């Protein structure tokens, strides 16, 4: 599963969360494509977004295009 802008909008509305444009871009960048060779589940996406919003960084690195990409922590 990949996350689309529409799905993110539905998620933020249902969870009553307001995101900045920077946060939206970071979330869509991370979940806009599948990490090879795995797939995101809805639970993966939801849990990692929650951690990202609480702590300003991703829980763990992911592998994209054969390389590990840790996505540096971001302060929000």
Region for 16 from its dihedrals, namely left if φ exceeds 0, alpha if ψ lies in -120 to 50, beta otherwise: left
The pTM (predicted TM-score) of the whole model is 0.73
**Residue 64 to residue 14: CA distance in whole angstroms:** 29
Q: What is the pLDDT of residue 9?
A: 94
How much of the chain, in percent, has pLDDT values that exceed 70?
76
Q: What is the pLDDT of residue 73?
A: 46
CB atoms within 10 A of CB 68: 10
């Amino acid at each position: 599963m990949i996350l689309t802008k529409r799905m993110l909008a539905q998620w933020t509305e249902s969870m009553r969360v307001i995101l900045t444009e920077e946060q939206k871009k970071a979330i869509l960048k991370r979940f806009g494509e599948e990490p090879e060779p795995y797939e995101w589940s809805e639970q993966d996406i939801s849990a990692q977004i929650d951690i990202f919003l609480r702590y300003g960084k991703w829980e763990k690195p992911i592998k994209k295009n054969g390389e590990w990409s840790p996505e540096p922590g971001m302060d929000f």
